[in-house]
Structure 1
Amino acid sequence: MKKLSVWMSMLLMFSLLLAACGGSDENDNASGDEGNKDYKLVEDGKFTFASSGEFKPFSYADPDDPTKMVGYDIAVANAIAEELGLEPSPQKYKFASIIAGVKGDRFDAAVASHTITDERAKEVDFTEPYYYSGPQIFVRPDSDIETAEDLKGKDVAVSKGSTYAKMAVKYTDNIKTFDSDVVALQALSEGKNDAVITDFITGQLAIKSGFEIVAKERLGESEQAIAISKENPELLKAVNEALQKLKDNGTLAKLSKEWIGEDITTSEK
């Protein structure tokens, strides 16, 4: 009986040990999977995001290495990837096609200064805004254009696929489209159109860069956010949480001042 009792005690201890080990594995998997497997990724371990690479100072070719992109959008995306414990994988893509790329699972997200609009929100989900901007009219110094009303009948240039393209049709039927806002502003500077409607930050930077243009009427404030597939709500939640941490710890404002020269992470409204 004594040997039987000892044997039963050993069996009980062995069973408890197995149960403990099994419980530990389950908890480890739960915590380990929370960062990566609650959401889908184009490539495991990487945060694959699209930017145009043609929208200085938000995304543009690195002067030291033209094969890489730098700018505020890129810096924000890299910081988000770090918060998620993922490797950032930036992809240069034409702005007008980026939303379709997100929908088609070509990218995990678009960190490309997309303005939140009702139309775009039908195609993709948006995070909370990571900066606030707004359209502005830019013209040559000798122009008599001052306000949106003065654009009637004028040649107005905008970037393809931007919200400014749809805004411009309110004021004129003569719309010229370019692959990027910078190219549109360059064309304006060279006298190839009468005005450009674009983000006020991009226009101001073009002026500082030596473009022969001046700023006129501001046309409101817009919210810029990250676009994510509607089929990936878990990633949307994770990116929003990462953005909130970056706002709370001051990283987002720091990156804005570094790349833009001022803090554009809060609304003026």
Structure 2
Amino acid sequence: MKKFALILSIMATMVVLAACGSSEAANGEGEDGKKTLVMGTSADYKPFEFIDTANSDEIVGFDIDIAKHITEELGYELKIENMDFSGLIAALNSNKVDFVFAGMSPNEKREKQVDFSDIYYEAHNAVVSMEDTSIEELSDLQGKKIGVQLGSIQEGKAKELQEEYEGIEVIQRDLIPQLVEELKTGRIDAAIIEDSVTSGYLEKNEKLTQFILDPNTSKGSAAAFPDDSELVEEFNEEIEKMKESGKMDELIKKWFENGGKSE
């Protein structure tokens, strides 16, 4: 009986310890007791998020700085998961990540699947091509191959152009650098990319040129969350504080004017 009681005691202790371990993992608590939030991103979208290969394998960028600032202000630890842009919403809906920062723009399709924060940055779509292709306006895209990032707002825009201009073929790639490489090698004629992202590529490649696709309409970026997430309100409050304090302007200047360098 004593041996039996001892076995029961040991088993009970193991169950309690296992439960404690499961609880800690489920709550996403770090070593200091803070809850950890997992952020999904696609680190190919400079200057929003990219891997600074010249210095390390760390993911850096405009969105990363915003996420770090907000989570720190709210008392969370931050963990960043890098994945293809097209898989970010699925990762949210399967609870693999708590939120997404990836230069993502709300649209009707996405808003049916996830919740969005307030807009934190606005930009325009640009049509990028090699100078010798003489693509200077939308009509020049007729019969051309247009590259877009899979799952992006730009993909939807390219499909709209397909209906308006005859012979357009839409080519999808996972990463922005792949689109630029396809342009340089002539496998596509043009690519639709956000203008805040194209600036760095145009500086490094003199033969690349662009025109703004939608000069009279701006495209906003927002953070994405699972439906009914309590984080939306918390993040909105911090985004507003960043705008009012000048912190958002400071980060915009750092990443879009100074190439990621603080003054």
TM-score computed with the length of structure 1 as normaliser: 0.78
* Deviation for aligned residue 1:77: 0.7
* Deviation for aligned residue 1:199: 0.3
* 1:43 correspondence with 2:43: no
Name the residue aligned to 1:190: 185
One-letter amino acid matched to 1:177: Q
* Root mean square deviation, CA, Å: 1.6
* 1:256 correspondence with 2:246: no
* 1:131 correspondence with 2:121: yes
Name the residue aligned to 1:52: 42
Q: Stretches of 4+ moved more than 6 A in 1?
A: none
Match of 1:106 among 96, 99, 117: 96
Q: Deviations over 1:161-181 (max 9, x none)?
A: 101111112223411111112
In the alignment, the residues of structure 2 paired with residue 108 and residue 88 of structure 1 have an alpha-carbon distance, to the nearest angstrom, of: 10
* 1:225 correspondence with 2:210: no
* 1:140 correspondence with 2:130: yes
State the identity as a percent: 26
* 1:210 correspondence with 2:201: no
Name the residue aligned to 1:154: 144
Name the residue aligned to 1:86: 76
Contact 1:146 1:216 in 2 (8 A): yes
* Deviation for aligned residue 1:250: 1.0
Higher Cα radius of gyration: 1
Partner SS for 1:176: strand
Name the residue aligned to 2:261: none
In the alignment, the residues of structure 1 paired with residue 89 and residue 61 of structure 2 have an alpha-carbon distance, to the nearest angstrom, of: 20
One-letter amino acid matched to 1:241: E
Name the residue aligned to 2:56: 65
Match of 2:160 among 170, 190, 202: 170
* Deviation for aligned residue 1:194: 0.5
* Deviation for aligned residue 1:42: 6.4
In the alignment, the residues of structure 2 paired with residue 42 and residue 209 of structure 1 have an alpha-carbon distance, to the nearest angstrom, of: 45
* Deviation for aligned residue 1:211: 5.8
Contact 1:116 1:225 in 2 (8 A): yes
Relative to structure 1, the CA distance from residue 151 to residue 58 in structure 2 (aligned partners, 3 Å threshold; closer, same or farther) is same
* Deviation for aligned residue 1:206: 0.4
Contact 1:148 1:217 in 2 (8 A): no
Contact 1:52 1:92 in 2 (8 A): yes
Contact 1:139 1:194 in 2 (8 A): yes
Contact 1:138 1:216 in 2 (8 A): yes
TM-score computed with the length of structure 2 as normaliser: 0.80
Aligned length: 220
Contact 1:146 1:217 in 2 (8 A): no
Contact 1:112 1:226 in 2 (8 A): yes
* Deviation for aligned residue 1:146: 1.4
Name the residue aligned to 1:247: 243
In the alignment, the residues of structure 1 paired with residue 224 and residue 212 of structure 2 have an alpha-carbon distance, to the nearest angstrom, of: 29
One-letter amino acid matched to 1:90: I
Partner SS for 2:179: helix
One-letter amino acid matched to 2:224: A
Contact 1:42 1:48 in 2 (8 A): no
Partner SS for 1:88: strand
Name the residue aligned to 2:165: none
